[in-house]
Amino acid sequence: MMKRVAIVLFVGISLQGDYAAQSERSTSPSRQFVIYGADPKIRGAVSSLAEQTKANLLALLRQRDDWKTPVVVNLQSQQANLPEVPPADLRFSQTGFGIKLQLDLTISKNLDVSVVERELVRAVLLEMMYRKQTNISAGAVLVEPPDWLIDGVLALAPGRDPGPLVEALANTGTPLALKKFLHQRPSIFDSSGRTLYRAYSFALVQMLLSEKDGAARLTQYIDHLSASSNDPLADLEAQFGLLADDAERTWQLALKQLKSAQTFSLLTFAESERHLDELLSLKISELNKPMKTVSLDEFTQHKLSAGEKMALEQLRRDLLFFVPQANPVLRPIAREYEAIAGLLSRGKRRGMAKRLLRLEATCQRLVSRMREIDDYMNWFEATQMKSVSGNFTGYLKAVDQSQLQPPRRRDPLSLYVDVVADQFDN
């Protein structure tokens, strides 16, 4: 996805003399992003990237698109006499009616799309933070969203492989304390330090989302960021119940669980399918009743008991940790099951039965197609490849042996049977 966007971003750059026609603009489908400069193809690519980045964030928070403040995006070509101009520069200020958001992008052949994504997430979070504040006084200090939130959101976006981040955590010595991590400034880190910071950010956002109603709590936390204090840990504890008793212990347990999961070693498709099936076979244990195993669609037919709600909430958390280690082909399926489990645990049953049927049908088609691909690849490797991998040596040897004439037995009974068979043949 990112490579495709990056390629489109640079199509036609060599054909442009300059970007003098700044009056030309494009508006994104949601109309939140107004893009000036460049040509229609580049503006369209930036619009697509902006909308996808926002959609990923809203899906993570389980929120609908309810923006109030537009984001102006200015595209300009790289100037040889201004090499210090950053590739992406987000400017935000207050007006008499709210905040103004402007993102300046310098288009060049070596533009890092991840930098653009980061600034887009920052812009969308700022809009959410100040959406309800229309009377900001002149000269007021505007609070930026924390870096760990931006990095964690990007790490949890669909299609991202968190393997290198989890591996970075696994290779560290003593884990960093939560309070110390929240006060770090990633802008001064080198490359390895920046990777480790993103790894901790991924772990923190995933831990917060794993709490019951974690997405709603994280949304509420973002709403209160504009009035945050100088103690980021206290601000988190005020919104998330799992940090209220012993935040540091909860943090260390989350890091330990993430390391022990070894999510950097991705599961194969077959392993992912098997593990997903195991997760979706829910075991319900209620007082004075035998344990029973139920499927997810049964929860759409009746009002849930306390035990069923607990089982669904546990399923949602298990799926949240399963997604990073699942085969990338199955990740969208697992994310959809995780969203459905969260909605069912809150009593949202309307339309869930049809949604589950569509999801199960999609999953079955995907499984069938992947098995066909596996069968073809196995046949090709066993019969068509010039070099032998050795994976099918045992199977081919067994087939050859089965086609050979078995050795004749020499015991008296076998000899008698052979003589009788010969007489009948003659």
DSSP character at residue 304:
P
**What's the pLDDT score for residue 292?**
79
**What's the pLDDT score for residue 317?**
80
Residue 326's SS3 state is: coil
State residue 103 phi and psi, 5-degree precision: -115, 120
Q: Is the pLDDT of residue 94 over 70?
A: yes
Q: Bridge-partner residues for 88, per DSSP? A: 105
Q: What is the pLDDT averaged over residues 297-313?
A: 84
Q: Is the pLDDT of residue 14 over 90?
A: no
Closest by alpha carbon to 123, among 102, 138, 149? 102
Q: Where are the alpha helices (DSSP H) in 269-305?
A: 269-280
Q: What is the pLDDT averaged over residues 385-393?
A: 61
Q: What's CA 20's distance to the chain center, in Å? A: 39
**What's the pLDDT score for residue 32?**
96
Closest by alpha carbon to 91, among 58, 126, 115? 126
| Residue pair 189/289 in contact by the 8 Å Cβ criterion | no
Match 């958390």 to its residue by tokens: 317
**What's the pLDDT score for residue 3?**
42
**What's the pLDDT score for residue 19?**
40
Written as six digits, the tokens of 149 are 């939130």
State residue 46 phi and psi, 5-degree precision: -65, -40
| Residue pair 207/250 in contact by the 8 Å Cβ criterion | yes
How many residues are there in the chain? 426
| Greatest mean pLDDT range, 56-60, 89-93, 220-224, 285-289 | 220-224
Percent of the chain with pLDDT over 70: 80
Domain architecture of the chain: domains with CATH:
1-140 (3.40.30), 146-264 (1.10.390), 269-383 (no CATH), 393-425 (no CATH)
CB atoms within 10 A of CB 286: 14
Q: What is the pLDDT averaged over residues 324-331?
A: 83
Written as six digits, the tokens of 102 are 């402007």
**What's the pLDDT score for residue 207?**
92
Of 133 and 387, the structure prediction assigns the larger pLDDT to 133
SS (H, E, C) 392-412: CHHHHHHHHHHHCCCCCCCCH
Residue 409: pLDDT band by 50, 70, 90 thresholds? low
Give the CA distances from residue 424 to residues 37, 105, 409, 412, 420, in Å, rounded to whole numbers and listed in that order: 95, 92, 19, 19, 6
pLDDT digits (tens, 9 = 90+) for 133-153: 877 776 677 899 999 999 999
Percent of the chain with pLDDT over 90: 33
- Say how far apart CA 102 and CA 88 lie, in whole Å: 10
Q: Is the pLDDT of residue 404 over 60?
A: no
Residue 174's SS3 state is: coil
Of 89 and 111, the structure prediction assigns the larger pLDDT to 89
**What's the pLDDT score for residue 301?**
86
Contacts of 353 (CB under 8 A, 6+ apart): 297, 300, 301
- Say how far apart CA 334 and CA 326 lie, in whole Å: 8
Q: What is the pLDDT averaged over residues 396-409?
A: 58
Q: Is the pLDDT of residue 23 over 60?
A: no
Poorest-pLDDT segment among 212-221, 311-320, 361-370: 311-320
**What's the pLDDT score for residue 196?**
94
Of 171 and 22, the structure prediction assigns the larger pLDDT to 171
Q: Is the pLDDT of residue 389 over 80?
A: no
Q: Is the pLDDT of residue 83 over 90?
A: no
pLDDT digits (tens, 9 = 90+) for 230-280: 999 999 999 998 898 899 999 999 898 887 765 446 788 888 888 898 888
Written as six digits, the tokens of 284 are 């319900």
**What's the pLDDT score for residue 18?**
42
Residue 156's SS3 state is: coil
Mean of all residue pLDDT scores within the chain: 82
pTM beyond cutoff 0.75:
no
Q: What is the pLDDT averaged over residues 370-379?
A: 82
Match 């955590």 to its residue by tokens: 169
The DSSP string of 68-121 is -S-EEEEEEEPPTT-TTS-SEEEEEEEETTEEEEEEEEEE-TT--HHHHHHHHH
Q: Is the pLDDT of residue 66 over 80?
A: yes
**What's the pLDDT score for residue 47?**
94
**What's the pLDDT score for residue 84?**
66
Q: Bridge-partner residues for 93, per DSSP? A: 100
Of 386 and 59, the structure prediction assigns the larger pLDDT to 59
